[in-house]
Amino acid sequence: MLSIVVMKWDPLPNQLESIPTQVGDTKVDYGAEHVNIHYNMVKRNLNIPFKYYCITDKQSEWINEEITQIDLWPWHRDLGGCFHRLFQYSYEFKEDYIDGRFVSMDLDMIITGDITPLFDRQEDFVYYRMKGPDGTGWRMNCGMYMLVSGARVPYYESFNKDPKKAMQCRVGPGTDQGWMNFCIQQAGQDEAYWTQGVDGIYDMRQDIIEKGLTELPDDCKILMWPGPRDPSQPQWKKKYKFIEKYYN
């Protein structure tokens, strides 16, 4: 059975790096409501059997009882950002947490259509390929990927061997994302992927905001929200009416 995995945690005060939604005016305090909304969107739009897991440093009685909560591991949390998410590639994650095929998904997305075809695939690793920050080139976005547990252990082990040295090897922006883009580049092998704008996956900044759109593309299945914004924030709900329709 397919597993859907989301993560929710509070940043540490002395972590080495931060992402935009962890600091300042763009900080988002992710809580039970974010998890429940994401679960609801998955349940409405995924037509194959699945189990839903929330890996968190703070379990909550307000999270839907159909969601299995798992305590977050401590490894690499001091590095900040999303570096600790790389543990999902480890053999220990397969042994101690979730075995089998799973999809790791960020909470800051809107699911708007049938996502079954995206996940009804047989490759042992599929990542979301999006355009570069300036709209050119391509890179992995770690907001969503599908993995058979244990299928890419070297991606974690090479990072875990010397994390601070590995952090200097990143390709492009992001924390775990920069590392994964380095790994994919270095591996020199063709990994399977979903493509922005082709597989019904779109980017809020590049495909909506910068194009001056207020409606979603007709074939949209998932609208990703990377960077300093989240669909739960009032300023976006006021301008984009599709948020109220789908994000609930």
Contact at 8 Å (CB) between 227 and 118? no
Q: Tell me: the pLDDT tens digits for 114-126?
A: 999 999 999 999 9
Q: Tell me: the pLDDT tens digits for 134-148?
A: 888 999 999 999 999
Give the pTM: 0.97
Contact at 8 Å (CB) between 216 and 203? no
Q: Cβ–Cβ contacts within 10 Å for residue 136, how many? A: 7
Q: Cα separation of 195 and 57, whole Å?
A: 32
User: Looking at residues 186-194, what average pLDDT do you find?
Assistant: 87
Choice between 238 and 187, residue whose per-residue pLDDT is larger: 238
Number of H helices and E strands in the chain, helices first, is 8, 10
pLDDT band at 12 (very low <50, low <70, confident <90, very high): very high
For 2-246, CATH number out of 3.10.129.10, 3.40.449.10, 3.90.550.10, 2.60.40.10 equals: 3.90.550.10
pLDDT beyond 80 at 189: no
Q: Tell me: the pLDDT tens digits for 193-231?
A: 999 999 999 999 999 999 999 999 999 999 999 999 999
Contacts of 84 (CB under 8 A, 6+ apart): 9, 72, 73, 75, 76, 77
pLDDT beyond 90 at 190: no
The percent of residues above 90 in pLDDT, for the chain, comes to: 96
CA atoms within 13 A on the CB side of 36: 11
Give the pLDDT score at 180: 98
**In this structure, are strands 109-111 and 222-224 parallel, antiparallel, or unpaired?**
antiparallel
> For residue 224, what are the β-bridge partners?
109, 203
| Percent helix, percent strand, percent coil in the chain, to nearest 5 | 35, 25, 45
Choice between 150 and 26, residue whose per-residue pLDDT is larger: 150
Greatest Cα pair distance, the chain, in angstroms, is 47
pLDDT beyond 80 at 9: yes
Q: Cα separation of 150 and 82, whole Å?
A: 19
pLDDT beyond 80 at 55: yes
Choice between 189 and 92, residue whose per-residue pLDDT is larger: 92
Give the pLDDT score at 154: 97
pLDDT beyond 80 at 158: yes
pLDDT band at 153 (very low <50, low <70, confident <90, very high): very high
Q: Cβ–Cβ contacts within 10 Å for residue 90, how many? A: 22
Assigned token pair, 44: 């409405």
